[in-house]
Structure 1
Amino acid sequence: MVVRCAVLFGLLGLFQATLGPLIPLLRDRDDLSPATAGLLVTGFFGGSLVSTAVGGVLSDRWARGPLYIVSAVLLPAGLGLLALPAGWPVPLFAVAVAGLGFGGLVLIVNTVMAMRGLTYVNLVNGTYGLGAAAGPALISLTHGGLLFAVLAVGVLAALPLTAPSAEAAVEKERLRPSVLLLLFCAMLFCYAGVETALSSWEATHLRAHGYGADTAAALTSLFWLGLAGGRLLVPVVTRGWPPQRIIVCALLACGAGLSVIAVEVSAPVGFFLLGAFAGPIFPATLAWIARTLPQPRRVNAAVLTVAMLGNATVPTVIGYGLQATSPLALPLFVAIALAGCLGIVLVLRARQVGEV
């Protein structure tokens, strides 16, 4: 079951990574503005947000029963629709349908793997990054179509025959909001927005530097490759570090990496470094939450829902900012979101120190 979940997450990562490079391709094909084409990301994560939020309030039986079945149907259905050579807004509708399935599956698998241990969370999210590294190169070669049809078949083959499950204590009490929970939600909102904005607007940023459309799409694999390496290797290098220390160092390194993508010749390497620096932040945050807050299943559902909201909104806001200024302003807008994320982490650390 773990192997199937890892393969499934690899395919999910591959799919998500195609959205950013798909934006300039759709702009050229359907004569869309950058902000309009950027709605592709909003539609996808909007669908994911809905299914994650719904899954978070369901009981375990419903979450791993009907939600799993519906998600397992909607994701390949959306991929199949996206494979059709239809003009806008059909691709927007297709990614929204796929997003509905995507969000439910991510919630179920991440929650189950978190119950099994941090090693499993790192494993599935690491394979997610490896799959994502292949997405941009494949979209640049195929321009969609056949790729999404093959992905639909691959997802159906990789899905576990029954919903993933793990032994866990039953959580009967309602999740009570707390300041710490709200801060963790705000932190992951900012981080998820940063990760998605970088992957979504990387191809557009590289094109503004003078790279060709196909070259820019292929080079976005570097960000995802760095992300996979960060999630699989950094935890080994930083063994023994508390999660909050890993997160602070990673955020500061990301800030430095933004200066590298501002230069034309070093921009592709900069995106690789940004992926590597950002990679350990999400798993380390889940580990920090597990050490800090009770009711891990419901807490995971809450923070994943808010993270999906960040995925859906922050890249869109940045997209309108790029449209009003220049695609080369991407480092500036991402730096603002990173600063918010770092500020929240420092507040979290201060509150915990004060409570000790």
Structure 2
Amino acid sequence: MVVRCAVLFGLLGLFQATLGPLIPLLRDREHLDAATAGLIVTAFFGGCLVSTAVGGALNDRWARGPLYITSAVLVLCGLGLLAAPFAWPVPLLAVAIAGLGFGGLVLIVNTVMAARGLTYVALVNGTYGLGAAAGPALISVTHGGFLFAVVAVGLLAVLPLRMAVPAVSARERLRVSPVLVLFCALFFCYAGIETGLSSWEATQLRAHGYAPDTASALTSLFWLGLATGRLLVPLVTRNWTGFRILVTALLACAAGLTLIAVEVSAPVGFFLLGMFAGPIFPTTLAWIAATLPHPRRVNAVALTVAMLGNATVPAVIGYGMQATSDLALPAFVAVFVLGCLGFVVTLRGATQRVESKE
């Protein structure tokens, strides 16, 4: 099942990574402004938000079967609509439908893998990054349609028949604690880093003077770096605490933002930013699993907030860049890096107090 989940996440990563490079392609094809074309990211993660929230609220009987099946069907339907040559706003509807299924699959797979430890959750999220690295390069060649059809066929081939989601007693209720709120805030800010960079990387590179197809293809570098960081973290940081991993990664991200502000170093800078940001998501999931009970429901709440960030932050950054400059991306992302650092430091003290009480 682990191998199937890893390949499944690779294909999901490939699909998500096409959204950023798809923005300039839609702008040219449909004659849209940047902020309007960028709504495909908001629509996609809006769908993810809804399905993640619903998935966390379901009881175990519904979470283990219907949620998984419905999520898979919705992703396939969304991909089918995107593969057809429909004009705007059908692509917006298609990504929203795909997002409804995407969120459910991400919740289920991450919950199953996080229960097994950092190595497994880093592995599946690392293959997510590998798939995402291929997405921008492929969409710059295919311009969408054929690629989305291939991804749909691939998903049909690798979807596991069932998922052994950790059970939650019907009498247990999720308690909203300060620690959970802090984890949610951390995930929201992390969305500003990963989704903010991946959504607007192609636009930033075009503003630096790179050709549209080149800028779309170079977006692969961020996702390749993300995969590298996630696959290396269990090996390089074997004896590190989650706190140390997160602080080191975030400080490195802050330094990496200076590289993408310069034309000549921007492509390398996006690769390094991906590598530095890579460990943040799986490390936080593993930290949650080790700290708080009821993994599916806790993950659902935290991931719902992350999806809220994914849905809103790219739009905010897009309108901000439109009001200032297409080269202002590093400044906007820096705000979320600093936010993550603040929440990680606060979480260390909060989790230590919880452990001491136990």
TM-score (norm 1): 0.97
Aligned to 1:107: 107
| Unmatched tracts of structure 2, length 5 or more | none
In the alignment, is the contact (CA less than 8 A) between 1:116 and 1:166 conserved in 2? no
Q: Any residues of structure 2 matched to 1:83-94 within 5 Å, and which? A: 83-94=83-94
Amino acid at match of 1:23: I
The offset of 1:52, in angstroms, is: 0.5
Q: Does 1:118 align with 2:118?
A: yes
Amino acid at match of 2:130: L
In the alignment, is the contact (CA less than 8 A) between 1:244 and 1:285 conserved in 2? no
Aligned to 2:11: 11
Amino acid at match of 1:174: R
CA distance in 2, matches of 1:228, 1:56: 27
CA offsets per residue over residues 259-313 of structure 1, 9 Å max, x none? 0000000000000000000000111111221222222221111111111111111
Aligned to 1:217: 216
Say if 1:167 and 1:298 are closer, same or farther in 2 by CA, change over 3 A. closer
Amino acid at match of 1:182: V
Aligned to 1:292: 291
In the alignment, is the contact (CA less than 8 A) between 1:4 and 1:159 conserved in 2? yes
Amino acid at match of 1:48: C
Amino acid at match of 2:60: D
| Unmatched tracts of structure 1, length 5 or more | none
Aligned to 1:250: 249
CA offsets per residue over residues 242-267 of structure 1, 9 Å max, x none? 00110011001000000000000000
Q: Any residues of structure 2 matched to 1:46-85 within 5 Å, and which? A: 46-85=46-85
In the alignment, is the contact (CA less than 8 A) between 1:140 and 1:214 conserved in 2? yes
CA distance in 2, matches of 1:167, 1:178: 21
In the alignment, is the contact (CA less than 8 A) between 1:199 and 1:223 conserved in 2? yes
Q: Any residues of structure 2 matched to 1:14-53 within 5 Å, and which? A: 14-53=14-53
Aligned to 1:308: 307
More divergent stretch after superposition (120-129 vs 131-140): 120-129
CA distance in 1, matches of 2:298, 2:290: 12
CA distance in 2, matches of 1:244, 1:188: 14
SS of the equivalent of 1:141 reads helix
In the alignment, is the contact (CA less than 8 A) between 1:44 and 1:99 conserved in 2? yes
SS of the equivalent of 2:293 reads coil
In the alignment, is the contact (CA less than 8 A) between 1:171 and 1:295 conserved in 2? no
Amino acid at match of 1:106: V
Q: Does 1:183 align with 2:182?
A: yes
The offset of 1:350, in angstroms, is: 2.8
How many residues in Structure 1 have an aligned counterpart in Structure 2?
355
CA offsets per residue over residues 73-123 of structure 1, 9 Å max, x none? 110110010011111111000000000111111111111112233222111
Q: Any residues of structure 2 matched to 1:140-151 within 5 Å, and which? A: 140-151=140-151
Amino acid at match of 2:20: G
More divergent stretch after superposition (295-304 vs 258-267): 295-304
More divergent stretch after superposition (166-175 vs 253-262): 166-175
In the alignment, is the contact (CA less than 8 A) between 2:258 and 2:330 conserved in 1? yes
Aligned to 1:264: 263
Amino acid at match of 1:218: A
Q: Any residues of structure 2 matched to 1:128-139 within 5 Å, and which? A: 128-139=128-139
In the alignment, is the contact (CA less than 8 A) between 2:80 and 2:152 conserved in 1? yes
The offset of 1:204, in angstroms, is: 0.3
Say if 1:210 and 1:199 are closer, same or farther in 2 by CA, change over 3 A. same
Aligned to 1:275: 274
The offset of 1:327, in angstroms, is: 1.0
CA distance in 1, matches of 2:303, 2:188: 9
In the alignment, is the contact (CA less than 8 A) between 2:34 and 2:318 conserved in 1? yes
The offset of 1:172, in angstroms, is: 3.2
In the alignment, is the contact (CA less than 8 A) between 1:193 and 1:307 conserved in 2? no
In the alignment, is the contact (CA less than 8 A) between 2:75 and 2:101 conserved in 1? yes
Say if 1:167 and 1:107 are closer, same or farther in 2 by CA, change over 3 A. closer
In the alignment, is the contact (CA less than 8 A) between 2:60 and 2:168 conserved in 1? no
